[in-house]
Amino acid sequence: MVRHFLKDDDITPVEQAEILRRALQLKQAPYSVRPFEGPKTVALIFDKTSTRTRVSFAVGVSDLGGAPLIIDSQSSQMGAKESIADTARVLGRQVAQIVWRTYAQTGLEEMANYAGVPVINSLSDSYHPCQILADLLTVQEHKGQLAGLKLAYVGDASNNMANSYLIGGATAGMHVAVAGPAGYLPDPGIVTRAELIAAKTGGSIEIHGEPHAAIQNADVVVTDTWVSMGQESDKEQRLRDFAGYTIDSALMAQAKPDAIFMHCLPAYRGYEVSAEVLDGPQSVIWDEAENRLHAQKALMAWLAEQA
């Protein structure tokens, strides 16, 4: 059966651990696995801008023996001119996998329904599951474990990163605490899903209305931009609403002394995080950015085997 990775709980806890184990192997031996030998082509479609995702998927497909085909949707027939279902049917006949950064999660679901090849969500308005795989790999490298650790996410707790930390972190057995101002808290449906997963993995979920309680005793502190792609017109309002949510040294000091700081990037110094923390000794953001490559290679290789 063709498997897809559209959201963090499209894989089980055992499968997530397996993908992370392989990611570590691929980090040590980058050219040891060649599922796209041929070369087979992987379509990388972008409806939104990207640096890390574009580079890490393109390099990753090449490393796995394949050829990356980057498609900017503005310069293709996708959207108004041709339906997602028809696009999926065309691509599925020619490429080995489809990686898509887009807006609505429903679009990804439609692509997966018609493509006949694995579809990977490389960021939607709802989730950023590839980023969470990279983040989990980074935590594992720096802390030696995932299950039982406390991960605190402070900021826009209603966005794609928060959703993916809740679901993906629970899948890894972590204690995920998120904090956001009123109006920027996770959808109750996401919280329930994360709680159900956590009940099986030994993790837990906490939702807070202010940053201190969430960050208390955390092993891992994370944040993300207050203005996600597609929300630019709300920027001024958002900057007002998130006052007091900047992760600075004083807030970071409430986490464990050996806590690490992560950010999916791009980061806006002085807004969601101070320069002192982002560029400071607890920050592991460059390892995290590099790990996009290794985690996604492991994911693509694993999906190639399931198909």
Q: Which residues here bind ligand NVA, judged by CB under 6 A?
A: 123, 128, 159-161, 224-225, 228-229, 264
Count CB atoms within 10 A of the CB of residue 124: 25
For the chain, first and last CA: distance in Å?
6
Note the maximum CA span of the chain. 54
Annotation says 93 is catalytic: no
Contacts of 143 by beta carbon, 8 Å cutoff, 6+ apart: 149, 219, 220, 260
Part in contact with ligand CP (CB under 6 A); list of ranges 15-23, 46-54, 69-77, 113-121: 46-54
* Six token digits for residue 188: 């109750």
Whole-angstrom CA distances from 81 to 5, 84, 87, 150 are: 26, 10, 10, 47
Task: Choose between 136 and 304: whose C-beta lies nearer to ligand NVA.
Answer: 136
Residue nearest ligand NVA, Cβ-based:
228
Interface mask toward ligand CP for 201-230; x: CB under 6 A: ------------------------------
Smallest gap from Cβ 52 to ligand CP, in A, equals 4
40 or 52: CB nearest ligand NVA: 52
Binds 51: which of ligand CP, ligand NVA, none (CB < 5-8 Å by kind): ligand CP
CA angle 4, 220, 191 (to 5 degrees): 50
Catalytic residue among 4, 22, 52, 101: 101
Burial code (b: 16+ CB inside 10 Å, e: under 16) for 1-38 equals eebbbbbbbbbebeebbebbebbebbbeeeeebebbee
Residues with Cβ within 8 Å of residue 14, at least 6 apart in sequence: none
Among ligand CP, ligand NVA, none, what binds residue 213 when CB lies within 5 to 8 Å by partner kind? none
52 is catalytic: no
Q: Which residue is nearest to ligand CP (CB)?
A: 53
* 131 assigned to active site: yes
Active site residues: 101, 128, 131, 224, 264, 292
Residues that bind ligand CP (CB under 6 A): 50-53, 123, 131, 264-265
